[in-house]
Amino acid sequence: MTSRRSGVPASAPRISADETSTLKTLGQLWPYIWPSDRPDLKSRVGLAVIALVIAKIVTVLSPYFYKWATDALTSAGATGNAADAGADPALSAGSLPAWIVAPVMLVVAYNGARILFVGFNQLRDALFARVGQHAVRQLAYRTFRHLHMLSLRFHLQRKTGGLSRVIERGVKGIENIVRFTILNGIPTIMEFAIMAGVIWYQFGFAYVVVVAVMIVAYTWFTVQTSNWRIAIRRDMNASDTDANSKAVDSLLNFETVKYFGNEAWEADRFDVSMAGYERAATRTWTSLAWLNFGQAVVLGLGTAVCMVMSARAVMAGTQTIGDFVMINALLLQLSIPLNFIGFLYREIRQGLTDLEAMFELLGEPAEITDKPGATPLDVDGGTIRFEDVHFHYDADRPILQGISFEVPAGKTVAIVGPSGAGKSTISRLLFRFYDITGGRITIDGQDLRDVTQASLRGATGMVPQDTVLFNDTVAYNIRYGRNDATDAEVREAARMAQIADFIESLPQGFATEVGERGLKLSGGEKQRVAIARTILKAPPILILDEATSALDTHTEREIQAALDQVSKNRTTVVIAHRLSTVVNAEEILVLEKGRIVERGRHPDLLAANGLYASMWARQQEASEAEERLRAATQDDTGFVVRGPRAGEEEPAQ
């Protein structure tokens, strides 16, 4: 089985933050770099490798041109001195002297080789760019999908701002590891091997020993210092994540900050996190300076030893001046990958550090999964049955204790009770955001744990108390109920939700942007949008989870008509705070402390004079008081005089 969007195996090995070995990381990334269904990307990898090999061959040859040019110029200088003493150098008719032509051509060849080296390296990078970005995209896609697979419990415990920053740094870390390891790590190792062979052949084993000691010392110093810097990097990432979480959280709750005048408080909280980031970032750059200085010392000492050895050999007549400049050129050439190997190690380690949190997300098991062999839910009417259901979030705090009831197909059952009784938990269990700890929940006799989550949620619609809209157009938010709906179907759903006239009165109509979390709409308007997208989804089962409890009595009555329309002929569970919205339900269940303490129709429950009757009496008193206040605030024309309710935005213009 492969993923929907690429040939990457669905069972591709999970990356572990503990496996910091480059080879292991390469092995885990390989399915993304060499995707089975993308021959075009495979051919790019092959061409990039060819360009890489050519670049390294040219790199090794270029110091030879430098040596030959130096020796030729040295020889030409001696000949030139002799000519000044009276010798007549042979001249080619109409051409430069041969002793000038040879060194000039060698100098041109040397610089041409340097240009070719850069050209093939850039060609390699250009060829591999699409491969690397494809790997980044697929891993980012996998992480994003995985986040949506995780449980509601996980997301309630995490901060959105922190998660977004983890993904952002993780994607960058993936790009660094793929790019620096494939494009630069392997070529650098290849260059070391070729260069060692050239030095041995040209200068002898003693030079190889000096260079080897230099490389080992350089690598040891780089690794030790980089490991020290990793801890600093972790502190910097933690402070950065904390600061970003606080910023996002504060901006999402902009109104609350304003209500309590806590702008300075929020800024101070953010600054505390940024102060920690400042300290860690300063230590990061300071430690980088020490690392670079130490590396320069090691390279300088190794180069000095080799050049002293070559200088002595030139003085002894066993080497030429060309050999002296060649060893210098080779060591300068070697310093580039050596400098880069330090940078490479740092980037890979820092990339792995940045990936740690992302790997933890990928390793986070989904709490709710489809069982092997799960089948799609087959809805034939939509009868819901709770059979002795027990549930708890924490073992020492039971929420539901032996709940049993039935919602017949096409009927409406209401669940009421005081706060904390477990009403909203029932809606979450029906969507299978959590698994019950005892008993059974069925739809048309099918246990929810035996059917696929996608089919269960596809057959169930929800109008929640707190409707959160996407920061997009009204049309987009309604169409979210069914992504393939036509414009005509979107308008019809809006009409049935009694919001079409309002939308069409806006300057941009259905193309009006609703703002972050829909804050440009009032509470009643947001609820109507939520009802419209549920109508568009057309589910056989409907859950109304305190859909009007956040509205005033007048708006509630208007919304209730739309809710009655959408729930007609559907199996409906109404979770209500205001009892006036459930008086027509076929059955009302009264919950208290996770148990059903009363059940029946509205008149019967009032006659029983129990918990339901006392709740009804209190709400009637509150409703009458609100009506009296409403009447008292009317002006002479009969219009209500009031501003927007607390927490309610003015309607979109």
Confidence (pLDDT) at 376: 92
**pLDDT class for 24, splitting at 50, 70, 90?**
low
Band of the pLDDT at 199, cuts 50, 70, 90?
confident
pLDDT higher than 60, residue 613: yes
| Residue-wise pLDDT tens digits, 541-579 | 988 887 766 566 666 776 777 777 778 888 999 988 878
Residue 25 pLDDT exceeds 80: no
Taking the C-alpha atoms of residue 485 and residue 471, their distance in angstroms, rounded to an integer, is: 19
pLDDT at residue 355 in the model: 64
| pLDDT tens digits for range 355-401 | 666 667 776 777 788 889 899 999 988 899 999 999 988 777 888 98
Three-state DSSP class for residue 516: helix
Using pLDDT thresholds of 50, 70 and 90, give the confidence band for residue 452.
very high
Which string of DSSP letters, residue by residue, matches 476-497? Answer: HHHHTT-TT--HHHHHHHHHHT
Residues 6+ apart with CB under 8 A from 390: 398, 400, 401, 402, 403, 436, 437, 438, 439
Q: Look at residue 145 in the predicted model and tell me its pLDDT.
A: 79
Give me the mean pLDDT over the 517-537 stretch: 81
> What class, spelled out in words, does domain 384-632 have in CATH?
alpha beta
Least confident of 233-242, 338-347, 386-395: 338-347
**Does residue 415 or residue 247 have the better pLDDT?**
415
CB contact burial 276-311 (16+ within 10 A = b; e otherwise): bbeebbebeeebeeebeebbeebbeebbebbeebbe
Highest mean pLDDT pick, 73-82, 143-152, 298-307, 398-407: 398-407
pLDDT for the residue numbered 164: 67
Q: Residue 442: which pLDDT band, with cuts at 50, 70 and 90?
A: very high
SS3 state at 468: coil
Which residues on neighbouring strands pair with residue 542, listed in sequence order? 461, 572
> Does 495 have pLDDT greater than 70?
yes
* pLDDT score at 528: 84
| 394: three-class secondary structure by DSSP | strand
Highest mean pLDDT among 130-139, 222-231, 290-299, 438-447: 438-447
Q: What span, in angstroms and rounded, lies between the C-alpha atoms of 423 and 429?
A: 10
Contacts of 358 (CB under 8 A, 6+ apart): 143, 166, 167, 169, 170, 171, 173
Domain map (residue ranges) of the chain: 22-81+95-363, 384-632
CATH domain 22-81+95-363 topology: ABC transporter transmembrane region fold (1.20.1560)
- Percent residues over pLDDT 90 in the chain: 12
**Cα 114 to chain centroid, rounded:** 41
Contact 71, 102 (CB under 8 A): no
The residue behind tokens 């929020």 is 266
Q: Which two tokens stand for residue 419?
A: 């706060």
Alpha helices in 94-204 (DSSP H): 98-149, 152-157, 160-178, 186-203
Nearest to 647 by CA among 551, 545, 530, 560: 551
pLDDT band at 404 (very low <50, low <70, confident <90, very high): very high
Give the phi and the psi of residue 161 in degrees, each rounded to 5.
-60, -40
> 412 versus 322: which is more confidently predicted?
412
pLDDT value of position 183: 67
**What are the DSSP E strand ranges found in 408-515?**
412-416, 438-443, 446-447, 460-463
Q: How far apart are CA 191 and CA 605, in angstroms?
A: 86
Residue 259 β-bridge partners: none
Burial class (CB in 10 A: 0-12, 13-18, 19+), 80: middle
Contact 523, 548 (CB under 8 A): no
Q: What is the pLDDT of residue 381?
A: 86
- The 10s digit of each residue's pLDDT in 66-87 is 777 777 777 654 445 444 444 4
What is the per-residue burial (b if ≥16 Cβ within 10 Å, else e) of 477-501?
bbbbbbeebeeebbbbbbebbbbbe
Contact, 548 vs 578, CB < 8 A?
Answer: yes
Residue-wise burial string across 231-269, b where 16 or more C-beta atoms lie within 10 A, e elsewhere: ebbbbbbbbbbbbbbbbbbbeeeeeebeeeeeeeebeeb
**Highest-scoring range by mean pLDDT, 122-131, 269-278, 345-354:** 269-278
> Could you give the CA distance from residue 219 to residue 242 in angstroms, rounded to a whole number?
34
Contact indicator for 555, 651 with CB cutoff of 8 Å: no
CA distance 219 to 337: 12
Indicate the SS3 state at residue 405: strand
Question: Considering only 149-163, 292-306, 384-398, which range has the smallest mean pLDDT?
Answer: 149-163
Mean pLDDT of the chain: 77
DSSP character at residue 182? I
Q: How far, in Å, CA of 146 to CA of 364, rounded?
A: 9
CA 95, CA 218: separation in Å to the nearest integer?
A: 50
pLDDT of residue 589: 93
pLDDT average, residue stretch 24-52: 74
The residue-averaged pLDDT of 602-626 equals 86
Is the pLDDT at 13 greater than 70? The verdict is no
Owner of token pair 């080897």: 212
Strand arrangement of the beta sheet that strand 397-407 belongs to: 397-407, 384-394, 438-443, 446-447
Confidence of residue 222 (pLDDT cuts 50, 70, 90): confident
The CA distance from 84 to 539, in Å, is 103
300 or 79, which is more confident?
A: 300
> Which comes out higher in pLDDT, residue 410 or 122?
410
CA end-to-end span of the chain: 50
Neighbours of 461 (CB within 10 A): 25
Question: Would you say the CATH fold of 384-632 matches that of 22-81+95-363?
Answer: no
Q: DSSP assignment, residue 576? A: -
**C-alpha span between 562 and 128 (Å, rounded):** 56
Higher pLDDT, 227 or 485: 485
State how far the Cα of 82 lies from the Cα of 15, in Å rounded to an integer: 71
The fraction of the chain above a pLDDT of 70, given in percent, is 77
Per-residue pLDDT reduced to its tens digit, 618-639? 888 877 776 777 666 654 444 4
Mean pLDDT over 307-331 rounds to: 83
30/319: higher pLDDT: 319
Q: What are phi and psi of 336, to 5 degrees?
A: -65, -55
Sheet arrangement for strand 412-416: 460-463, 541-545, 571-575, 412-416, 587-592, 595-600
pLDDT higher for 28 or 487? 487
